[in-house]
């Protein structure tokens, strides 16, 4: 491991977000802000201290065990937050301090900072931006070193013109933190303890503070508002889409294609506009997805086509076709070569290969064999008002249009259900089932009905 420990500051109230959720738990590309950061830091050290405050229990409950949590009861600035973590630091080694709302930081940049910091008492991650308003400015000492960091509220007019900013990510020797944190005093303007003041202490005593400037300032962007949340997500999505296109995934319009960070897509797959793929989804090779598809936690084999449809927690076999306007709900498992057509809803059902449910049907809690055909308007009635019941349809069965199968029911192999039937009893294999009222024709009645006026007619 490169670091002895890391401290992640996550105690802020996030008032500018104007939402009830803790700021660091707001998600971009399928993961909370702090989880994006932790994925990188976990590769640098196994000793991570997370300073929480506002809604700290929610943060702790989400992230779970494996981290040391420190509660900052009174939020008096970054210096005060790190003071709370000092008792949990090792005696020696390098400690990195990061903000929990910086999801775009790359692991390589953090590792580079940790490595250059070894040559001094502290390391500082900086970035050059066009509009530095709101950030602490880096005041250089000569061409290489850092003299001090000046916060926006403390900066002079000349210092406000500096475009090199403090990203809020630092490396310190553990002994340095323990020595200088007790020397911090609150700002007379804000009453807060600034961690940045330690940099001034070090440079005044001729300790070496090594800056490391990011090549791309966007890595350092913090999230404090929903607008900044959008900006961070936009940057991350552009990176995700760019990497997929380099790997052989075609996007007709990357600007309207939304992919989460955990999504995997095989080469030769085409994504049409307005496609959203979320969660832990895996898409095979040579698939065709969209337009207007929303997929979440799905697994698609090769050569699957989905158009204008919604699917969540489903598995779809190779060469299957879904949509348009289908709704596949959790627990659905489609075999190879299955056809699910327009306005079909399927929930918690296994459907074997080459079965067709072309249109206007509902299948729930069903186990369907291979080569079954469901006619238009076929409904599996799985719920009796209290419990869900299973339907079994064996291979080769034919379900006629507008049939209702009232579960629990078993339709045998190669059975044939006549159109318009409502069945509540099992059907043996190769049998024909007819369950509908007999047709009665009343001669001349249609003419009489057409000629009769409504009681409300004038």
Catalytic residues: 359
Please calculate the CA angle 223-153-142 and round it to the nearest 5 degrees: 95
Peptide bond between residue 324 and the one before it cis (omega within 30 degrees of 0): yes
Inter-residue contact 111 to 59 (CB < 8 Å): no
Beta strands in 142-289, from DSSP E residues, in sequence order: 145-150, 164-173, 209-213, 250-251, 257-259, 264-265, 270-271, 275-278, 282-283, 288-289
Residue 15 DSSP class: G
Residues contacting residue 16 through CB under 8 Å, at least 6 positions apart: 224, 225
User: Which residues make beta-bridge pairs with 138?
Assistant: 149
Instruction: DSSP for 72-129, please give it.
Output: -SS---HHHHHHHHGGGS-SSSEEEEEETT-TT--HHHHHHHHHHHTTSSEEEEEEE-
Inter-residue contact 125 to 104 (CB < 8 Å): no
CA-to-CA distance for 433 and 418, rounded, in angstroms? 6
At residue 91, what are phi and psi to the nearest 5 degrees? -70, -35
Of 99, 90, 72, nearest in space to 7 by CA: 99
Alpha carbon distance, N-terminus to C-terminus of the chain: 90
Query: How many other CB atoms sit within 10 Å of the CB of residue 374?
Result: 32
Instruction: DSSP for 243-264, please give it.
Output: HHHHTT-EES-GGGEEE-TT-E
**Pairing mode of beta strands 264-265, 282-283:** parallel
Peptide bond between residue 253 and the one before it cis (omega within 30 degrees of 0): no
């Amino acid at each position: 491991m490169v670091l002895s420990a890391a401290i992640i500051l996550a105690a802020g109230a996030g008032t500018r977000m104007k939402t009830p959720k803790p700021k660091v738990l707001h998600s971009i590309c399928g993961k909370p802000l702090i989880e994006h950061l932790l994925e990188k830091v976990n590769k640098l050290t196994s000793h991570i201290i997370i300073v929480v405050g506002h809604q700290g229990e929610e943060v702790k409950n989400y992230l779970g065990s494996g981290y040391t949590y420190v509660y900052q009861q009174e939020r008096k600035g970054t210096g005060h937050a790190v003071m709370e973590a000092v008792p949990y630091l090792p005696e020696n080694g390098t400690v990195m301090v990061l903000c929990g709302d910086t999801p775009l930081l790359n692991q390589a940049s953090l590792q580079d900072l940790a490595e250059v910091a070894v040559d001094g008492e502290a390391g500082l991650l900086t970035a050059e931006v066009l509009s530095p308003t709101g950030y602490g400015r880096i005041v250089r000492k000569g061409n290489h070193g850092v003299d001090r960091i000046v916060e926006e509220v403390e900066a002079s007019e000349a210092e406000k013109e500096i475009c090199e900013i403090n990203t809020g990510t630092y490396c310190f020797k553990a002994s340095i933190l323990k020595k200088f944190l007790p020397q911090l005093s609150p700002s007379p303007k804000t009453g807060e303890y600034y961690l940045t003041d330690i940099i001034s202490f070090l440079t005044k005593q001729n300790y070496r503070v090594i800056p490391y400037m990011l090549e791309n300032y966007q890595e350092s962007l913090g999230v404090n508002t929903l607008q900044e949340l959008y900006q961070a997500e936009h940057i991350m999505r552009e990176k995700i889409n760019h990497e997929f296109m380099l790997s052989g995934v075609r996007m007709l319009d990357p600007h309207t294609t939304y992919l989460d960070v955990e999504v995997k897509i095989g080469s030769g797959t085409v994504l049409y506009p307005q496609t959203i793929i979320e969660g832990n989804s895996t898409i095979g090779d040579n698939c065709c997805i969209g337009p207007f598809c929303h997929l979440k936690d799905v697994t698609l084999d090769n050569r699957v086509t989905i158009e204008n449809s919604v699917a969540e927690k489903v598995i779809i076999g190779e060469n299957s076709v879904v949509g348009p306007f289908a709704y596949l709900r959790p627990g659905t498992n489609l075999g190879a070569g299955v056809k699910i057509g327009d306005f079909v809803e399927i929930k918690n059902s296994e459907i074997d290969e080459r079965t067709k449910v072309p249109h206007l049907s509902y299948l729930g809690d069903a186990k369907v064999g291979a080569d079954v055909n469901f006619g238009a308007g076929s409904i599996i009635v799985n719920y009796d008002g209290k419990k869900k019941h299973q339907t079994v349809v064996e291979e080769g069965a034919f379900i006629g249009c507008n049939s209702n199968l009232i579960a629990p029911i078993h339709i045998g192999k190669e059975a044939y259900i006549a159109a318009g039937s409502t069945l509540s009893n099992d059907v043996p294999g190769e049998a024909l089932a007819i369950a509908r009222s007999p047709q009665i024709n009343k001669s001349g009645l249609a003419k009489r009905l057409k000629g009769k006026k409504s009681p409300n007619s004038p």
